[in-house]
Structure 1
């Protein structure tokens, strides 16, 4: 690690929607320089809200950070507009593969690079890097993006983010709706980018199995609170994680008695 401070630190964040609804409560998360960290949890746990508090995308949804602080590269970024955060090096790939469907992948990448400016030479270098990591995108570069497969659209969404040369890449549910072999392929590529480019990654996922294979540490979010934080290896071995997130919980209700006692144990 090149610096003493983490690239990102959330300290005791609280987010409220419409001035009344408390979405996340006292969330603290750290991403080390050049690290890969997962934020895990079921649907509605507050994972996307946490990401949007970092990228600044809460405001359009009438959400606001009402407590705690968010530091990026040891600077307080709470007051910055989303665009200013992108220019600092924070980029979020939103859930649902948002790409310009009427444009080709090539045109999508060029459009994304305009967000941060820079010379044509830099843009071409960045585009070459994206195509090197995602050869399938290079093969489909002149197709209309709306006709790409779900996996190819996800690759393009990540490629668009990389065109801004971020320091922190935040991925919101990249596995959603994709076949397991595609999820493994995309996660392997992201890990490769992390290792070769030194890009820090915060991965938000319901798919704990896939996420814990590529990250070093994980946080588990439930009902807007962090209930567990550990190394990926320790989380994979944890019997509660195995039962509820690694495929052993078919047909079980999250709010049954065992679940309640498990939460009490984690929070105590």
Structure 2
């Protein structure tokens, strides 16, 4: 069963620039789906369509439908979407630098009224991310990039989401921290059943944790399938994984070739 469905979405910025062109995506209930693509392909725009954060950037959905848990949510504002169980971790972490890790977590609990439950959620986050508990006396602005990313994910989880949108969680992190972040993403999905839509340029890491994936190029989905199918496709290997130069046009469900990737 699909928890999230995007059907033929088109997005225009400033009433002029068509950034996303007929995109359709599904995220199953409890699934872990990756959205891959180069810089500027439209990945972050798609996440903002889902979370409702297009308007501040003068973006507008001009066509299509976004359904979450069986309901059309395009008319809902971002706070209401969070209350329905959808949360977005933006690129660049965006933690409250003047607050401690615990204060950052508490800032995401306005929807909760039970203080005992809030305390339990904080303890769960510190158990999931022990490094945050160790650094709890420090201001978030003094945390390392990896620690800030952990805090951003933990803060999102404080809302108890059904679906978490992650935008470039590995951006700017050392390789060992990337492994740690992706192990945590896999654990969150497996243990809590929280669905994940993961936007990444690091195709190797993303396809290692995802169950299925989509590839977006110039605002269009050009390839989709299981993670294993995409990893084995020679074009994916050449453009993203540094592998074969052979082209297989039939190894994935959808694929339309218009030009040589990244030429």
Query: Normalising to structure 1: TM-score of the pair?
Result: 0.90
In structure 1, the residue matched to 2:54 is 58
Q: Using the TM superposition, name which of 123-132 and 89-98 deviates more.
A: 123-132
In structure 2, the residue matched to 1:92 is 88
Structure-2 separation of matches of 1:149 and 1:140: 10
Structure-2 separation of matches of 1:215 and 1:104: 32
Give yes or no for contact 2:234–2:243 (8 Å, CA) kept in 1. no
In structure 1, the residue matched to 2:17 is 21
Give yes or no for contact 1:23–1:46 (8 Å, CA) kept in 2. yes
Query: Normalising to structure 2: TM-score of the pair?
Result: 0.92
Q: Deviations over 1:107-158 (max 9, x none)?
A: 11111112x2321111111111111111111111111111100000000000
1:264 to 255, 258, 263: 258
In structure 2, the residue matched to 1:76 is 72
**How many pairs does the alignment contain?**
250
Segments of structure 1 that go 5 or more residues without pairing to the other structure are 250-260
Matched, 1:209 2:204: yes
Return the structure number with greater helix share: 1
In structure 2, the residue matched to 1:109 is 105
* Alpha-carbon offset, residue 262 of structure 1: 7.4
In structure 1, the residue matched to 2:168 is 173
In structure 1, the residue matched to 2:229 is 234
In structure 1, the residue matched to 2:252 is none
Deviating above 4 A after TM superposition, structure 1's stretches of 4 or more consecutive aligned residues are none
1:146 to 141, 151, 156: 141
Structure-1 separation of matches of 2:136 and 2:257: 48
Secondary structure class of the residue paired with 1:263: coil
* Alpha-carbon offset, residue 265 of structure 1: 8.9
